Amino acid sequence: MTTKNRFPIHVYSVALALVITLLFPGCHSQQNSLEQQPTAEEQKKFEQDYQKAMEEQKKLTSGYGKSMQYVPPSTGYDPKKALHAKQSVSAQPQTQPQH
């Protein structure tokens, strides 16, 4: 009768961590060596595109604060109209009927 050798689970997790640790720094170092610094022309184009994007964002968000103010539904009551009505009534001289 043959028995299989089985490793505990923690051995597999350690092996997996070791493989990941060895692979990722290698990939990262290759990536850095392939990257190049942008040329002056590319840098200028990037800055122009960034400036355009900022201007568009400013246009799109310029009226945001005003448009988001709460305006309650109209009830038909105008406080200014009511105030003017009170002032005009009190401003008119009271005429007393003479007997």
CB-count burial class (<10 Å; 0-12, 13-18, 19+) for 36: exposed
pLDDT at res. 42:
93
Of 28, 27, 26, 50, nearest in space to 38 by CA: 50
pLDDT at res. 56:
92
> Would you say residue 25 has pLDDT above 70?
no
Does residue 38 contact residue 46 with C-beta atoms inside 8 Å? yes
- For 55-84, what is the HEC assignment? HHHHHHHCCHHHHCCCCCCCCCCCHHHHHH
pLDDT at res. 29:
54
Tens of pLDDT, residues 26-73? 655 555 556 788 899 999 999 999 999 999 988 887 776 666 677 777
Of 27, 7, 25, nearest in space to 15 by CA: 7
pTM: 0.33
